[in-house]
Amino acid sequence: MVDLSKLEPHVFAERLAALGLRRAAFLQDPTTGLTCSHPELAGLGQSLIGNTRDYDRHQAVFLELGEQTNVLLGAFLHRTRRGQGIGGVRLWSYASVGDFLSDGLRLSKGMGRKNALAGLWWGGGKGVIARPPGQRHEDPAYRAQLFRDYGRFITSLRGAYVTAEDVGTTEPDMAEIHAVTRYVVCVPGSVGGSGNPSPATARGVVSAMEGALDHLGVGELRGKVVAMQGIGNVGGFMLAELLERGVAKIIAADVSPNAVRAIRERHPGERVQVSLVAPGDQSILFEPCDVLAPNALGGILNPDTIPRLRAKLVCGAANNQLLDQQRDALLLQQRSITYVPDFVANRMGIVNCANEQYGTIPDDPAITRHFDPSWENSVYRITRSVLERAERAGITSTEAANALADELAEQPHPIFPERTSQIISGLMASGWARATAPAPLRAASGA
Ligand code: NAD
């Protein structure tokens, strides 16, 4: 029998369509572990459970073949006691269905933890779209079709998952999704969206730095030296926040001549030293400094770089800074380098857009309280809690953040407890997974 998890996503999509299937659901089951909507896909369910690195009793995984494009679409729900799953949708190229599923499981777990630690009344969710082979996704007309397919898929899930922008997707893509569903945030400002999250993200990371410095008993940012990798959207705003707080010096590196020029023009003078570097040049990570802020790439904290770091504290915006969560967190701990887990520091991206449907207010208190150390869920306070817990228990800051997040994720939504479970039960009772492929589906396939 064919191992479906090994198939390329577009081959899997053709196979499903040939079986007359258009949708599939894998649901957490307290007695059997996991139930699968179709016996033909039981093996795939087994491979989900067998993925012990990424599978964590996820509440649900929904798959659909795009109505117009036949592309494999996914929506992944981790814990949803705090509310409906929310998190961005990623458009990415996957070598196999197994890789596609792993990414959705891993990312939705990460979002559940980030949302819970941010005190949001939202659960963990993530969307994944398997990028079709070739460059079709760059054709605007095809792309619009693809994101409308995704929007219709989200509509069919009746609000169990609310989607947003993520790697590989743009604001115009969100506008296409928004044209066919209400369950999307990070939509353009012209239709009531919250706009660029980068200033809030930058301020959140700076709050996390302040919490960590306070925890270390080394005072404020004033007079400190900060090294930054990446001065793009977040890095640029972060630089201004740091200067406002009186840092002694900022050393920054970027691979983009435009980004470097813009910062040099905006901040002439000796306190900011910006270098243009080649893509492989990691030397900024090894500068002597008080705080290192990775604001560009993931995976930069690894056995090659960690022994050479000269910062006491690492706290930045980039996602997935540790190449291997467990191993590299331990390496940092062994070197007595304090690490603020990325999902603790960079929460403001999702915070900025998560509550778009509750309207917008200038200097929205639902946003600004995240920067107020007197609020128990502020970035500052959660950073301190995580670092204190790690120190007390002799564990890494990543383990401490995960443990705190997992506790918070069990808190039920104050108005709609178990709403998402009820939505999922309703979907299954009404035969959501049994919808079959419409006739034009195969004609449009071969994507
Ligand atoms: P961006 O693309 O605007 O900026 C990234 C910058 O890093 C660019 O200027 C790029 O030239 C530079 N860069 C790339 N490779 C580099 C290298 N090898 N060395 C030095 N510089 C390099 O992205 P952004 O919106 O500023 O986001 C930065 C990071 O923060 C990303 O990892 C992103 O996923 C994460 N993040 C962003 C937000 C947000 O609100 N924008 C929220 C949460 C997390």
Q: Which residue blocks in 272-355 are alpha helix, DSSP H?
A: 325-334, 342-345, 348-354
Q: Looking at residue 444, what is its pLDDT?
A: 42
Residue 313 binned pLDDT confidence (cut-offs 50, 70, 90): very high
Tell me the whole-structure pTM to 2 decimals: 0.92
Q: Looking at residue 53, what is its pLDDT?
A: 87
Residue 438 above 70 pLDDT? no
Residue 102 binned pLDDT confidence (cut-offs 50, 70, 90): very high
Residue 255 near ligand 1, beta carbon < 6 Å: yes
The residue-averaged pLDDT of 52-67 equals: 95
Residue 235 near ligand 1, beta carbon < 6 Å: yes
Q: Looking at residue 179, what is its pLDDT?
A: 97
Residue 297 near ligand 1, beta carbon < 6 Å: yes
Residues above pLDDT 70, as percent of the chain: 97
Atom in ligand 1 nearest the alpha carbon of residue 279: 18
Q: Looking at residue 440, what is its pLDDT?
A: 43
Q: Looking at residue 442, what is its pLDDT?
A: 42
Residue 254 near ligand 1, beta carbon < 6 Å: yes
Residue 112 near ligand 1, beta carbon < 6 Å: no
Atom in ligand 1 nearest the alpha carbon of residue 201: 40
Q: Looking at residue 446, what is its pLDDT?
A: 39
Judged by average pLDDT, the poorest of 23-27, 109-113, 148-152, 186-190 is 186-190
428, HSE (Cβ side, Cα atoms, 13 Å): 17
Report how far ligand 1's centroid is from the alpha carbon of 390 (Å). 28
- 126 a catalytic residue: yes
- What DSSP string runs through 203-221? HHHHHHHHHHHHHHT---S
Q: Which residue blocks in 157-274 are alpha helix, DSSP H?
A: 171-178, 198-216, 233-244, 257-266
pLDDT digits (tens, 9 = 90+) for 75-92: 999 999 999 999 999 999
Residue 236 near ligand 1, beta carbon < 6 Å: no
Q: How far is CA 24 from CA 92, 130, 163, in A?
A: 20, 15, 19
Residue 200 binned pLDDT confidence (cut-offs 50, 70, 90): very high
Q: Which domains, and CATH codes, for the chain? A: 4-193+421-434 (3.40.50.10860), 198-400 (3.40.50.720)
Q: Looking at residue 443, what is its pLDDT?
A: 40
Residue 447 binned pLDDT confidence (cut-offs 50, 70, 90): very low
Tell me which residue has its CA closest to atom 32 in ligand 1.
318
Residue 368 above 50 pLDDT? yes
Q: Looking at residue 150, what is its pLDDT?
A: 98
Residue 230 near ligand 1, beta carbon < 6 Å: yes
Q: Looking at residue 439, what is its pLDDT?
A: 41
pLDDT digits (tens, 9 = 90+) for 108-135: 999 999 999 999 999 999 999 999 999 9
Tell me which residue has its CA closest to atom 35 in ligand 1.
318
The active-site residue, picked from 109, 126, 224, 312, is: 126
Residue 30 binned pLDDT confidence (cut-offs 50, 70, 90): confident
Query: What does the angle CA 320 – CA 318 – CA 345 come to, to the nearest 5 degrees?
Result: 95
The residue-averaged pLDDT of 242-258 equals: 97
Report how far ligand 1's centroid is from the alpha carbon of 235 (Å). 7
Atom in ligand 1 nearest the alpha carbon of residue 229: 20
Report how far ligand 1's centroid is from the alpha carbon of 66 (Å). 30
Residue 271 above 90 pLDDT? yes
Residue 392 above 90 pLDDT? yes
Q: Looking at residue 211, what is its pLDDT?
A: 98
Q: Which residue blocks in 267-396 are alpha helix, DSSP H?
A: 325-334, 342-345, 348-354, 365-368, 379-393
Q: How far apart are CA 368 and CA 148, in angstroms?
A: 33
Tell me which residue has its CA closest to atom 38 in ligand 1.
349
Residue 194 near ligand 1, beta carbon < 6 Å: no
Residue 223's region, left for phi above 0, alpha for psi from -120 to 50, else beta, is left
Residue 201 near ligand 1, beta carbon < 6 Å: yes
Report how far ligand 1's centroid is from the alpha carbon of 282 (Å). 15
The overall average pLDDT reported for the chain is 94
The residue-averaged pLDDT of 185-210 equals: 93
Ligand 1 binding pocket mutation candidate from 255, 266, 281, 314 (most atoms within 8 A of CB): 255
Residue 318 near ligand 1, beta carbon < 6 Å: yes
Tell me which residue has its CA closest to atom 40 in ligand 1.
198
Contact 380, 212 (CB under 8 A): no
Atom in ligand 1 nearest the alpha carbon of residue 200: 40
Residue 43 above 90 pLDDT? yes
Q: Looking at residue 196, what is its pLDDT?
A: 86
Tell me which residue has its CA closest to atom 27 in ligand 1.
234
Q: Looking at residue 177, what is its pLDDT?
A: 98
Q: How far apart are CA 74 and CA 41, in angstroms?
A: 15
Q: Looking at residue 345, what is its pLDDT?
A: 98
Report how far ligand 1's centroid is from the alpha carbon of 141 (Å). 28
Residue 277's region, left for phi above 0, alpha for psi from -120 to 50, else beta, is beta
